Amino acid sequence: MQRFLATLLTLTLWCLALPAAMAADAAPMIRLEYRLVAFGIDPNGFEGATRRLWRVGNTQLRYEEPLNPATGAQLLVVVSMPDAWFIDAAARRGTYRKDSDAAGKVKFPAFAPQFGDEIAKMELGFEQQWFAERNAVDAGERTVQEVDCRLQTVEADGKKVTLFSRKANGLPFQIVVETAERAVAVRFARYERALEVDKALFQPPAGVEIQAEAPAAKQ
């Protein structure tokens, strides 16, 4: 599972040379708090801890991890295209990278490529769009953790993928991918849309020592 988290982080950073879908200031802000749920993941450990994500369209993103007790690091990623900062919030140090393509697009996949190429196209904040584009099939209703949900399923990459949407407001509660070995879920403790954009979220915090990297090459 450590490999899964590392791969997901790598994917978080850059998917370049793609046109941005909308201007940052024109897109409402999304805020998510979520965690991974699966057999073998300790809900009280680092892997099962809550992550936080803010994004504005495909041009601004902020991702926060809790403190990793094994490394002492606390990852913070801030992107305001074409600028990006990768920060250890605990050490108050980070690096800066500028995309050479000002029209680049930032992406944040819900699942890593090990689940399959099609599943890896699903982005946090745009999960329902992914299911709609693949003609998801209604799969009834279910109550999970005392939350009443409506289910939709898609078969992708040889796996069953299910979206659980809250009946109360229609927002995602969790996405489950069923593999041959086990089911892995991304579960949302908080899911908010259409928020006013807080521009301060998409700049590095004050008091952080930043070192510049070479510009990222076009792909």
Locate the domains of the chain by residue range: 2-212
Cβ atoms of 183 and 194 closer than 8 Å: no
Between CA 32 and CA 61 the distance in angstroms is 11
Q: In this structure, how many other beta carbons lie within 10 angstroms of the beta carbon of residue 27?
A: 18
pLDDT at 102: 66
> Which residue type is seen at 4?
F
The yes-or-no verdict on residue 15 having pLDDT over 50 is no
| Domain covering 2-212: architecture | Clam (2.50)
The yes-or-no verdict on residue 12 having pLDDT over 90 is no
Q: Which residue has the higher pLDDT, 194 or 19?
A: 194
Q: What's the token pair of residue 147?
A: 């939350």
Q: What's the token pair of residue 131?
A: 């299911």
pLDDT in tens, 114-134: 999 999 999 999 999 999 999
In the structure, what pLDDT confidence band is assigned to residue 218 with cuts at 50, 70 and 90?
Answer: low
Q: Report CA-CA distances (Å) from 68 to 8, 34, 76, 90, 205.
A: 16, 16, 12, 10, 19
Average pLDDT over residues 6-27: 43
Q: What is the DSSP letter of 97?
A: E
The yes-or-no verdict on residue 192 having pLDDT over 50 is yes
Contacts of 99 (CB under 8 A, 6+ apart): 14, 16, 81, 82, 83, 84, 215, 216
The yes-or-no verdict on residue 9 having pLDDT over 90 is no
pLDDT at 18: 35
